[in-house]
Amino acid sequence: MIDRTGEPLLSLQNVSVHFEKERLLGLAGSETVHAVDDVSLDVYENDIVALVGESGCGKTTLGKTAIGVQRPTEGKVLYRGQDVWETKESSGWFGGGKSAGEYSSSEIRRSLQMIHQDPGSSLNSNYTVESSLADPLKHWQPEMSEADRRARIYGLLEYVGMAPAEDYANRYPHQLSGGEQQRVALIRSLLMNPDLILADEAVSALDVSLRAEMMDLMLELQDQFSTSYLYISHDLANAKHLTQRANGRIGIMYLGELVEIGTPEQIIHDPQHPYTKVLLWATSDLRNRSEGVSDPPIRSLDIPTPTDPPSGCRFHTRCPEAREACTKECPTLADHDGDGRRSACFRQQGNHEYWNSAPLAEGEPVEAGPATTSESAEGD
Ligand code: SF4
């Protein structure tokens, strides 16, 4: 059971990440990309949080900010209560300089690991599997004998189904399938004994038949290593699979903001935010749960640009429930029912002026569902 009452392992407090980017078409000057805006999120020991949203919603940027790879423009990232960026500045991210806090920057760096969508990017093509896996053990457990190191590596390879271990240990990354590469990348992260792993689209490059298997393996290894996952995905069905068994949470992001977060039961079976309903509609495995709606519950397929996000509620240009009030005021993420789920929509506030203001437009059905399958846009 996850204890969410004490100090979080990781706390993102009012985090914003803005980038300057050159204007296109030869226009002078730059414009600001609002990749993430004012997001607060706590992750606890042995927790799983899946962040889901369309391409360009800021979920990858938020994930990288959470593990200290991306510096927030505003707000703080705290590791066990200690400011990650103050630590980094006082002791250097790679250096062993003295930290002002209880944890050094290298301890924090070891504690917050990442596995990528493309495991090839985290495995050195010149190293055998055994060399790749021995590296973190040599660094973090230098007292371990070579025989013990080998036994640990072989044991883990067999645990994740790569047997006989001697055979796999001597292979190079190009001699492994995508699923095997991802297993090695996962083991490699876990050998650092991290407190949290950022898994960014970690299963989306695998065959559909292997995705559930890989997520189940992640959950098994979570039990063994007592780690937490921050899982980034455009696929609500995968997020459900990973979080449901582990008492995790699903967070929905739209245009740089966290618009709803709750248990998989709340998000999948009783979504509050209109954008969550769009994602459910767009997920074929879950669509039959979204009230039998045949047309996408959205007014426009066009996603506003993060360089010029809409005023008020950022979803108002696409929301079928939008009213005049939504163009003027930004709803805050709040627990409206006292059940732990937080959402950012005026429709959850019975006495808000929303209810007396005029609808923006009829909820005209659009012709196709929103694209939620690619993941490459800037600011993501
Ligand atoms: Fe839609 Fe208004 Fe709710 Fe935003 S606040 S999600 S525009 S109803």
Distance 245 CA to ligand 1 centre (A): 31
319 lines ligand 1 (CB under 6 A): yes
322 lines ligand 1 (CB under 6 A): yes
Residue 365 confidence (pLDDT) above 50? no
pLDDT digits (tens, 9 = 90+) for 78-108: 999 999 999 988 876 555 555 557 899 989 9
254 lines ligand 1 (CB under 6 A): no
**3-class secondary-structure state, position 3:** coil
Confidence band, pLDDT 50/70/90 cuts, at residue 264: very high
Nearest ligand 1 atom to alpha carbon 319: 1
Q: What angle do CA 306, 378, 41 make, to 5 degrees?
A: 70
Question: In a mutational test of the pocket of ligand 1, which residue from 258, 347, 354 has the highest number of ligand atoms less than 8 Å from its CB?
Answer: 347
pLDDT: is 299 or 231 the higher one? 231
Residue 372 confidence (pLDDT) above 50? no
Please report the pLDDT score of residue 153 as a whole number: 95
Distance 279 CA to ligand 1 centre (A): 15
Lowest model confidence (mean pLDDT) among 136-140, 202-206, 213-217, 369-373: 369-373
Distance 39 CA to ligand 1 centre (A): 18
What residues does each domain of the chain span? 10-126+172-356
Please report the pLDDT score of residue 378 as a whole number: 44
Please report the pLDDT score of residue 376 as a whole number: 38
Please report the pLDDT score of residue 366 as a whole number: 46
Q: Whose CA is nearest to atom 4 of ligand 1?
A: 313
Distance 322 CA to ligand 1 centre (A): 5
Please report the pLDDT score of residue 28 as a whole number: 64
pLDDT digits (tens, 9 = 90+) for 210-234: 888 889 999 999 988 899 999 999 9
Residue 123 confidence (pLDDT) above 60? yes
Distance 344 CA to ligand 1 centre (A): 8
Mean pLDDT of the chain: 88
Residues 96-121, mean pLDDT to the nearest whole number: 80
Confidence band, pLDDT 50/70/90 cuts, at residue 206: confident
b/e sequence 170-209, b meaning 16+ C-beta within 10 Å: eeebeebeebbbbbbbbbbbbbbebbbbbbbbbbbbbeee
Confidence band, pLDDT 50/70/90 cuts, at residue 302: confident
253 lines ligand 1 (CB under 6 A): no
278 lines ligand 1 (CB under 6 A): no
Return d(Cα 41, Cα 83) in angstroms, integer.
Answer: 15
Record the pTM. Answer: 0.89
CATH 3.40.630.30 fits 10-126+172-356, yes or no: no
321 lines ligand 1 (CB under 6 A): yes
One DSSP character per residue, 322-361 reads -BHHHHH-PPPPB-SSSSS-EE--GGG-TTSGGGGSPBSS
Please report the pLDDT score of residue 118 as a whole number: 79
Confidence band, pLDDT 50/70/90 cuts, at residue 377: very low
Return d(Cα 267, Cα 287) in angstroms, integer.
Answer: 13
